[in-house]
Amino acid sequence: MTNILVLHGPNLQLLGGRESEIYGADSLDAINQKLIDTARAQNIALTCFQSNSEAALLDKIAAAPEQKTAVIIFNPAAFTHTSIALRDALLAVAVPFIEVHLSNTQKRESFRHHSYFSDIAVGTITGFGALSYQLALQAAFGIVQN
């Protein structure tokens, strides 16, 4: 069975009650459940993991090849603009990944315009709220079919 890993970075556990004008009203649990249901309908195993800890995210990335992960969907959140360690881990494991953001980072503060991940991602999906994750999952399906 094909495995897809969804990683959520810091503060995303607060979705549903956090700045809904920027991030939308959906909770992280609701987003995850929709992803799991969509993947299950395609006979694909999907695991979701959120952490505020860079180290915990690094550990999940490092374990991805051993767990036969075909694609990673990754919302690095604030780590987007700061984490060379996560970038290096993704390069090291060479598992294709899609960068996801709920908000359009280019329409926000200038420090959010730079990503340490966009240039090494298969693609980046931003600005569609919770739909960004579903669009990324559809793209991941395309990757695993090729």
Distance between CA atoms of residues 131 and 102, nearest Å: 8
Residue ranges per domain, the chain? 6-85+93-145
Q: Which CATH architecture has domain 6-85+93-145?
A: 3-Layer(aba) Sandwich (3.40)
Percentage of the chain with pLDDT > 90?
Answer: 77
Cα–Cα nearest to 6, from 57, 54, 65, 46:
46
Which of the residues 8, 81, 101, 133 is marked catalytic? 101
Residues 3-18, mean pLDDT to the nearest whole number: 89
Q: What is the pLDDT of residues 24-51, one digit of tens each?
A: 678 999 999 999 999 999 999 999 999 9
CA atoms within 13 A on the CB side of 138: 6
Q: What is the pLDDT of residues 113-144, one digit of tens each?
A: 578 899 999 999 999 999 999 999 999 999 99
Which of the residues 8, 23, 116, 133 is marked catalytic? 23
Which pLDDT score, from 0 to 100, does residue 55 have?
A: 98
Put simply, whether the predicted model's pTM sits higher than 0.75 gets the answer yes
| Element of type H or E holding 107 | none
Q: Residue 54: pLDDT above 70? A: yes
Token pair 């780590």 in the structure block, residue: 79
Binned at pLDDT 50, 70 and 90, residue 20 comes out as low
| Distances from the Cα of 121 to the Cα of 47, 50, 116, 117, 124, angstroms | 19, 19, 10, 6, 7
Answer yes or no: 101 catalytic.
yes
Cα–Cα nearest to 106, from 123, 81, 73:
81
